[in-house]
């Protein structure tokens, strides 16, 4: 990416850099949510006997918060490898649905390489921010906006885990506990402005909430979220139909 | 052993993330499927917010709800997402003092 930027004409380069900077601003709330959760993860993982290298490696390679907490708990309870891997698959399968949605949106705008790079580090939060801030997808050098969001989110998660594993609880417990609301507030902060513009997006979200609530009575939270997202999204077939 | 678990977890997480990249350009979706996929972000936001927000503080679902209501109000009046996040954190912090 850096070499591509160097080869650009100065005016082009300015555009790409401006996009990247805008992306950092858009992604900043994710950092705010990720750092405290990542530190908590690092602390818990260290307490359960994982080494600093293992902690950082897990965050760098798996890069999916909820499944990492679950993985550490299961490792501590000496669960089998197959059991842990299957549970991880179930919990993270929602990313398939999200990736399909976002990659379909950018199919003609970004190169194969660009799409592959983004998809590798897709999480709930970067998917949510990128999809709501979809105004840059078709702009020239728009990919740098999305790259910035994906990169800073990734770095803050890996760095936060490392910090937690290294230093232990650097954030007072009551504060880090309160910061558990951060990612929910981020999702609300993304959803509300779109609902204000068009109420139908609110109906889709509420429909998905109800499906998730019902499904979570019978299924694990991983499948319940997948079902809520997929079945809730089905309402879009009717609600988002373009009037001809 | 932990290393193998990490690699296994990484594979089953990354493969579902990247498969769509290999299929979207090969398939032309019908319009109704495109509409379905366009609704996914809003459905995902809904499913990620609720009922998960009830368990921000274990055993005290009302604290998550109140933090969420503050976030809704701050977002509704048009404040930046950073302020929405900080406002919700402050609410939960005060309620758990």
pLDDT digits (tens, 9 = 90+) for A52-83: 999 999 999 999 989 999 999 999 988 999 99
A191 and B81 within 8 Å at the Cβ level: the answer is no
pLDDT digits (tens, 9 = 90+) for A119-172: 999 999 999 999 999 999 999 999 999 999 999 999 999 999 999 999 887 788
What distance in Å separates the CA atoms of residue A148 and residue A18, rounded to the nearest whole number?
A: 11
What distance in Å separates the CA atoms of residue B75 and residue A92, rounded to the nearest whole number?
A: 28
Q: What ipTM does this complex have?
A: 0.95
Rounded to two decimals, what is the model's pTM?
A: 0.92
**How much is the pLDDT for A221?**
87
Burial A200-233 (b: 16+ CB within 10 A, else e): bbbbbbbbbbbbbeebbeeeebbbbbbbbbbbbb
Measured between CA atoms, how close is B23 to chain A, in angstroms? 9
What distance in Å separates the CA atoms of residue A233 and residue A176, rounded to the nearest whole number?
A: 33
B24 and A107 within 8 Å at the Cβ level: the answer is yes
Displacement of CA A48 from its chain's centroid (Å): 25
What distance in Å separates the CA atoms of residue A214 and residue A228, rounded to the nearest whole number?
A: 9
Contact B69/A at CB under 8 A = no
Dihedral of alpha carbons A144, B41, A160, A114, sign: negative
**How much is the pLDDT for A174?**
86
A17 CB-near residues (< 8 Å, 6+ apart): A5, A144
Q: Among A128, A212, A234, whose Cβ lies nearest the Cβ of B51?
A: A212
B81 and A29 within 8 Å at the Cβ level: the answer is yes
Q: Among B21, B67, B85, whose Cβ lies nearest the Cβ of A186?
A: B85
Contact B13, A64 (CB under 8 A): yes
Q: Specify the residue for token string 């705008």.
A: A109
Q: Specify the residue for token string 């994982």.
A: A50
Q: Among A54, A174, A234, whose Cβ lies nearest the Cβ of B36?
A: A234
A100 and B20 within 8 Å at the Cβ level: the answer is yes
Q: Among B1, B13, B81, whose Cβ lies nearest the Cβ of A64?
A: B13
A104 and B86 within 8 Å at the Cβ level: the answer is no
B39 and A235 within 8 Å at the Cβ level: the answer is yes
């Amino acid at each position: 990416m850096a070499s591509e930027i160097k080869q650009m004409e100065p005016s082009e380069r300015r555009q790409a850099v401006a996009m990247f900077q805008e992306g950092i601003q858009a992604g900043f709330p994710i950092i705010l949510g990720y750092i405290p959760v990542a530190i908590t993860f690092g602390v818990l993982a260290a307490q359960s006997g994982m080494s600093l290298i293992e902690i950082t490696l897990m965050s760098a390679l798996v890069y999916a918060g909820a499944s990492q907490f679950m993985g550490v708990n299961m490792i501590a309870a000496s669960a089998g490898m197959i059991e842990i891997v299957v549970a991880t698959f179930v919990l993270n399968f929602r990313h398939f649905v999200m990736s399909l949605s976002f990659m379909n949106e950018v199919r003609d705008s970004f190169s194969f390489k660009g799409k592959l790079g983004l998809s590798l580090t897709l999480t709930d939060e970067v998917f949510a921010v990128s999809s709501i801030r979809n105004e840059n997808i078709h702009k020239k050098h728009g990919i740098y906006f999305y790259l910035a969001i994906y990169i800073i989110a990734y770095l803050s998660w890996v760095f936060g885990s490392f910090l937690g594993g290294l230093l232990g609880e650097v954030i007072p417990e009551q504060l880090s506990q309160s910061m558990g609301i951060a990612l929910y507030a981020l999702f609300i902060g993304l959803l509300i402005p779109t609902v204000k513009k068009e109420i139908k997006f609110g109906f889709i979200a509420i429909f998905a909430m109800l499906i998730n609530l019902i499904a979570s009575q019978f299924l694990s939270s991983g499948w319940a979220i997948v079902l809520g997202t997929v079945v809730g999204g089905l309402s879009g077939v009717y609600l988002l139909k373009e009037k001809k | 052993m932990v290393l193998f678990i990490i690699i296994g977890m990484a594979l089953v997480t990354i493969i579902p993330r990247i498969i769509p990249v290999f299929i979207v350009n090969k398939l032309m979706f019908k319009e109704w499927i495109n509409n379905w996929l366009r609704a996914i972000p809003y459905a995902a936001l809904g499913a990620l917010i609720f009922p998960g927000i009830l368990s921000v503080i274990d055993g005290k679902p009302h604290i998550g709800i109140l933090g969420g209501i503050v976030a809704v109000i701050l977002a509704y009046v048009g404040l930046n997402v950073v302020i929405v996040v900080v406002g919700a954190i402050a609410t939960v912090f005060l309620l758990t003092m």
